[in-house]
Amino acid sequence: MYAYDEIDRTLVNERVSEFRDQVQRRLSGELTEDEFKMLRLQNGVYLQLHAYMFRVAIPYGTLASNQLRALAHVARKYDRGYGHFTTRQNIQFNWIKLSDLPDALADLAEVGIHAMQTSGNNMRNVTSDQWAGVAPGEIEDPRIWSELIRQHTTLHPEFSFLPRKFKIAITASDHDRAAIKVHDIGLRLIKNEKGETGFEVLVGGGLGRTPFIGKTIKHFVHGRDLLSYIEAILRVYNQYGRRDNIYKARIKILVHELGIEKFSREVEEEWQHIRHSSLEIDDEVIEDIRSRFIYPAYEKLPHMPDELRQAAADPNFEAWRKNSVASHKNPGYSIVTISLKPIGAPPGDATAEQMDALADLADKYSFGEIRVGHEQNLALPHVAKRDLPALWKALDKLGLATPNVNLITDIIACPGLDYCSLANARSIPIAQELTRRFANHELANLIGRLHINISGCINACGHHHVGHIGILGVEKNGEEVYQITIGGRADENAALGNLIGPGVKFDEVADVVEDIVEAYLALRERPDELFMDTVKRLGVEPFKERVYATR
């Protein structure tokens, strides 16, 4: 956990008081809606289909139990008793009153949570691996650097009015759980031959209507130069990014139009000017941030405690353990993923009661810490293995032990037409129907790792381009039509999916997905050949044939 100090708390409080003043000026008519729009967006407030939506930042996905309780409190007091965890390590509340927002922010500020820059054309919430600091084999805890960037990008005086939004993600593991290749800047923490910490820097990745996989702009930027290098990229983007067309304003378009070589020359030139400046980070500064990350006092515990051995006789426990429990860097401990994808429910939603109860479980079993991942699930990062059976029973009572993590019903979906004013099609009902179709755990288990991603419009909040099966809702002649892609992935081998053919109607989507899955089961070479590997081996064609032969 990272502990805010008086300086951080002061800034958050000053921000709340500024926003209170801005809301008052809007309510009195002193600010026009056009003027207010940018200001509220910078504080995470959108005007949605039915009401204001409030998006709260969970920097690099780390939450303390008291912070989760504060989110539950906001859900209960100012909203309708639930919140929605998103693909960007945020939580959204959908039914909040504008006049309540300053109070909600003030309540969150008490526990060091804010909504700064969760929207708007500025540097967004920094995201990272939800297993940061506990994943085995990790080079170093990437959250130390995420926190450095969080601070540097918060209320940045030069980059708060960029051409468009700007997202940075960091990973420090071989297996990329932060989807760095589909971010404006992706950072991969590495060590050079001298053992010094640095970053491979990728730029220009992103989804939306023009998806790109990020390109490596520099193979090694030393940790001390990280901020100056990011600042150089941002300065080039701020000056030359397109502002004439909102659809061409992201940095990926600038990188694409200039070409990565020319773009990197511009950045390099800018960087040489600012590299050795007050932006250079000395070890002492990093050590100070590191010192404010508090790690649990782990005990020396057995790798296979009796409790776990005994519980293994229960097939329900085993089914859950197999896909929810991951290895921890300390042998007696585990990382437990908590599925927010129960069968038939909107992906990523949690009630206030569930959040409160999870906070209690985190206190009891995970040193008071919770993580939020981009797959819209939560995790308890430090669970002693002997506690797994008890934790499972407690989660089951809360409806939070669905054994489907990484299986076909662990669906990522945007809110779609049910909530979002941008959407052209529904996402949640598609996700709900698919979870019902594949509710049978044996079947889901037989299929193995398979990620379905659903977006209700071209903006791709459900990351459909990088779903193993991607589903994009569009509107055609007043009807919802869904385009299906296969073969996308968001990990270290990130790739964009390929369209399998013409779009299909709303009530055909689940049938089509079933066809694709059946084709895969028939086509795979071995039971352990994963869906994405079969697609890679065979391409789109056999799936296309299976889906469209009878349609």
Partner 1 sequence: MPLVNGGKIADDSFVKLAVDTPLPEGGDILVPAERFVGEADALLKRAGKIGVIWPNNRDISELVPYLGKLAVVALVFPTFRDGRAYSQARLLRERYNYRGELRATGQVLRDQFVFMLRAGFDSFEVKKQADAEAFMQTAKRYSVFYQPTGDGRITALHRRMQLRHSEGVGT
Residues that bind partner 1 (CB under 8 A): 5, 7-8, 10-11, 14, 17-18, 22, 30, 35, 38-39, 121, 151-152, 154-162, 235, 238-239, 243, 273, 277-279, 284-285, 288
CB 13 to partner 1: min, Å: 9
CB 154 to partner 1: min, Å: 5
The structure tokens listed for 476 are 């055609």
Q: How far apart are CA 550 and CA 540, in angstroms?
A: 17
The structure tokens listed for 157 are 């005086």
CB 128 to partner 1: min, Å: 18
Which of 419, 527, 529, 396 minimizes the C-alpha distance to 468?
Answer: 529
Exposed e or buried b for every residue in 384-422, given b needs 16+ CB within 10 A? Answer: bbbbbbebbebbeebebbbbbbbbbbbbbbbbbbbbbeb
Tell me whether residue 109 or residue 450 sits nearer to partner 1 (CB atom).
Answer: 109
Dihedral (CA of 460, 465, 471, 474) sign: positive
Tell me whether residue 50 or residue 243 sits nearer to partner 1 (CB atom).
Answer: 243
CB 279 to partner 1: min, Å: 6
> For the chain, what is the largest distance between any 2 Cα atoms, rounded to a whole number of angstroms?
67
Total number of residues shown for the chain:
551
Which of 7, 5, 122, 6 minimizes the C-alpha distance to 57?
Answer: 122
CB 152 to partner 1: min, Å: 6
CB 183 to partner 1: min, Å: 21
Q: What are phi and psi of 71, to 5 degrees?
A: -65, -40
Tell me whether residue 134 or residue 254 sits nearer to partner 1 (CB atom).
Answer: 254
Tell me whether residue 31 or residue 326 sits nearer to partner 1 (CB atom).
Answer: 31
- What is each CA distance from 362 to 176, 371, 405, 484, in whole angstroms? 25, 10, 19, 38
The 3-state DSSP class for residue 408 equals coil
Tell me whether residue 150 or residue 341 sits nearer to partner 1 (CB atom).
Answer: 150
CB 25 to partner 1: min, Å: 9
DSSP assignment of 58-94: -GGGEEEHHHHHHHHHHHHHHSSSEEEE-TTSEEEEE
Tell me whether residue 39 or residue 319 sits nearer to partner 1 (CB atom).
Answer: 39
- In this structure, which amino acid lies at residue 404? N
H/E segment holding residue 198: strand 197-203
CB 372 to partner 1: min, Å: 23
Which of 166, 454, 431, 134 minimizes the C-alpha distance to 293?
Answer: 134
Tell me whether residue 158 or residue 545 sits nearer to partner 1 (CB atom).
Answer: 158
Tell me whether residue 157 or residue 478 sits nearer to partner 1 (CB atom).
Answer: 157
Token match 């349609």: residue? 551
Tell me whether residue 166 or residue 543 sits nearer to partner 1 (CB atom).
Answer: 166
Exposed e or buried b for every residue in 454-484, given b needs 16+ CB within 10 A? Answer: bbbbbebbbbbbbbbbbbbbbeeeeebbbbb
CB 291 to partner 1: min, Å: 9
The 3-state DSSP class for residue 242 equals coil
385 contact partners, CB below 8 Å, separation of at least 6: 301, 302, 303, 304, 305, 307, 308, 332, 333, 334
The structure tokens listed for 205 are 């990745």
CB 395 to partner 1: min, Å: 38
CB 102 to partner 1: min, Å: 15
Helices (DSSP H) in 246-380: which residue ranges? 251-258, 260-274, 283-291, 306-311, 315-324, 352-365
Q: How far apart are CA 369 and CA 380, in angstroms?
A: 6
Tell me whether residue 238 or residue 406 sits nearer to partner 1 (CB atom).
Answer: 238
Tell me whether residue 155 or residue 510 sits nearer to partner 1 (CB atom).
Answer: 155
CB 278 to partner 1: min, Å: 4
Cα first-last separation, the chain: 53
CB 305 to partner 1: min, Å: 41
Tell me whether residue 228 or residue 337 sits nearer to partner 1 (CB atom).
Answer: 228
Tell me whether residue 156 or residue 386 sits nearer to partner 1 (CB atom).
Answer: 156
